[in-house]
């Protein structure tokens, strides 16, 4: 595999990274509200908590969970009240999330992401890779990179499309995206003197996408 740092550093500069941090700062207050929601209500045992988190994160990030392929008798609010909340509560996902309490681990992160993606597919009939990454990110900000088409395309341009292949039990596209984000984060550290956190990396990727457009 090509050395990722050499490739990405030919395209990124310290000035660009700092510009991305500055211009994307206007979204910090809104994101902080979602971080606080998940920090104050981390569990998945109460329907009102599950509804609040799935509804607000999905709507804020254009990844609403109610967008679905499966025909369902649950219309409007009933989809959350009678379908989403009970199914997520019964899945006992807090037991999965306990694996993340030991700290950042790439293999564990992509494994948990796949489990949540599979659960959401059962609920909606659609691949909810983007929603799953965002939902997990707001619960574990240091451990999950935020996936969407713009971020994926940007990291592919900056890092390349090689497949690093993290572990097993994974959604391959998210696992590859996760590995590229880790490589790019360490490359950016050479510019700014520290490894950016996943939210900061997201700012860089989205700013790269906007500047290219």
Give me the domain span that covers residue 117.
40-139
- Asked if residue 157 and residue 134 are part of one domain, the reply reads no
Read off the pLDDT of residues 153-209 as tens digits, 9 standing for 90 and up: 999 999 976 655 555 567 889 999 999 999 999 999 999 999 999 999 999 999 999
66 and 79 Cβ atoms separated by less than 8 Å:
yes
Q: What is the chain's Cα-based Rg?
A: 17
Task: Calculate the average pLDDT of the chain.
Answer: 88
d(CA 164, CA 162): 6
- Asked if residue 159 and residue 83 are part of one domain, the reply reads no
Is 67 a residue whose pLDDT tops 70?
Answer: no
- Asked if residue 149 and residue 126 are part of one domain, the reply reads no
* Domain end (from 87, 122, 139): 139
Is 77 a residue whose pLDDT tops 70?
Answer: yes
Is 213 a residue whose pLDDT tops 50?
Answer: yes
Read off the pLDDT of residues 121-165 as tens digits, 9 standing for 90 and up: 988 888 899 999 999 999 999 999 999 999 999 999 999 766 555
Q: What is the reported pLDDT for 157?
A: 92
Q: What is the reported pLDDT for 102?
A: 78
- Asked if residue 126 and residue 49 are part of one domain, the reply reads yes
Q: What is the reported pLDDT for 117?
A: 95
∠ CA 78-83-84, nearest 5°, is: 105
d(CA 197, CA 127): 26
Domain count, the chain: 2
pTM for the complete prediction?
Answer: 0.89
């Amino acid at each position: 595999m090509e050395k990722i740092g050499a490739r990405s550093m030919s395209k990124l500069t310290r000035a660009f990274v700092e510009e991305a941090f500055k211009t994307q700062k206007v979204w910090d207050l809104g994101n902080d509200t979602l971080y606080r929601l998940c920090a104050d209500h981390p569990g998945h045992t109460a329907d009102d908590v599950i509804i609040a988190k799935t509804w607000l994160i999905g709507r804020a990030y254009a990844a609403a969970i109610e967008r679905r392929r499966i025909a369902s008798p649950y219309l409007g609010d009933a989809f959350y009240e009678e379908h989403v909340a009970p199914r997520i509560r019964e899945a006992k996902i807090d037991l999965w999330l306990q694996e993340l309490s030991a700290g950042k681990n790439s293999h564990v992160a992509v494994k948990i992401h796949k489990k949540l993606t599979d659960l959401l597919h059962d609920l909606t009939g659609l691949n909810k890779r983007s929603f799953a990454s965002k939902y997990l990110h707001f619960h574990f900000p240091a451990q999950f990179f935020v996936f969407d088409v713009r971020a994926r395309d940007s990291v592919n341009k900056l890092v390349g499309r090689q497949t690093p292949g993290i572990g097993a039990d994974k959604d391959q596209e998210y696992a590859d995206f996760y590995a590229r984000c880790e490589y790019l984060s360490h490359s950016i550290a050479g510019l700014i003197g520290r490894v950016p956190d996943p939210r900061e990396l997201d700012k860089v990727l989205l700013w790269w996408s906007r500047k290219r457009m």
